[in-house]
């Protein structure tokens, strides 16, 4: 398994496999045009690193690693944090270790930069959450974000509410679960 920077001729593959992976989730995560944002890998690559997992030259996974505090892809983090997002593995390649290899690469990049690594995930990403916890990421509930569509009362007691009026009804109350890894403490 090779982890490397995505080449521009692979951007379409990265976008497609990421959207396909998100489509397998039981609750829609692609509302509000997020699928189109994900497919704009070239745009994302302007302010973030796009990394791929390749098996015999076939791209089977991808992740976005963000260090630039001005990047729109660095969100919901504390000053000084770096972040990875959109970790996805082709459904046909699940179980190959591609996701773990991508996450480990991001941990090592954060360690080399001497900066804490933050991520957000959702309750429906059970395999990913278990992997992050095994890797030493710690839950930070005070940094969770909650989706509010406006179709019900605004959630009380949430650390931060994200207003998405175009989200599907089943996304109401969806939590983006915060995790962080102090790479220098390990």
Residue 148 is part of a domain; what is its CATH number? Answer: 3.40.630.30
3 state SS of 126: helix
Domain span at residue 171 reads 2-185
SS3 content of the chain, % helix, strand, coil (to 5): 35, 25, 40
Q: Which helix (H) or strand (E) holds 15?
A: helix 11-23
Q: Which residues contact 33 (CB under 8 A, 6 or more apart)?
A: none
Q: Kindly report the pTM of this predicted structure.
A: 0.88
Give ∠ CA 41-42-45 in degrees, rounded to 5.
85
Domain count, the chain: 1
Report whether 1 contacts 54 (CB < 8 A).
yes
Q: Residue 131 and residue 138: Cα distance in Å, rounded?
A: 12
Among residues 76, 79, 71, 15, the alpha carbon closest in space to that of 42 is found at 15
Q: Token pair of 86, please? A: 């959109």
Characterize the bridge pairing of strands 145-148 and 161-163: parallel
Q: Residue 50 and residue 2: Cα distance in Å, rounded?
A: 14
Report whether 34 contacts 86 (CB < 8 A).
no
Q: Write out the chain's pLDDT in tens, 186 residues.
A: 999 999 999 999 999 999 999 888 776 677 677 789 899 999 999 999 999 999 988 999 999 999 999 998 888 888 899 999 999 999 899 888 999 999 999 999 999 999 999 999 888 888 898 999 999 999 998 888 877 777 777 666 656 776 677 777 777 777 788 899 988 765
Q: Which residues sit opposite 162 in a β-bridge?
A: 147
Q: Which residues sit opposite 2 in a β-bridge?
A: 54
């Amino acid at each position: 398994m090779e982890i490397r920077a995505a080449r521009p001729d692979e951007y379409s593959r990265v976008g497609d496999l990421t959207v396909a992976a998100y489509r397998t989730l039981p609750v829609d995560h692609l509302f509000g045009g997020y699928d189109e944002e994900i497919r704009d890998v070239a745009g994302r690559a302007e302010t973030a690193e796009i990394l791929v997992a390749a098996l015999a030259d076939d791209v089977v996974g991808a992740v976005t690693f963000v260090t630039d505090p001005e990047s729109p892809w660095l969100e919901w983090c504390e000053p000084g944090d770096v972040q990875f997002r959109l970790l996805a593995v082709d459904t046909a390649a699940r179980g190959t270790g591609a996701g773990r290899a991508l996450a480990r690469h991001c941990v090592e990049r954060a360690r080399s930069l001497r900066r804490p690594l933050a991520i957000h995930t959702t309750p429906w990403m059970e395999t990913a959450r278990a992997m992050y916890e095994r890797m030493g990421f710690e839950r930070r509930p005070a940094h969770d974000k909650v989706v509010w569509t406006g179709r019900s009362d605004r959630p009380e007691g949430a650390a931060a509410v994200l207003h998405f009026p175009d989200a599907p009804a089943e996304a109401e109350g969806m939590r983006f679960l915060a995790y962080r890894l102090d790479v220098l403490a390990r």
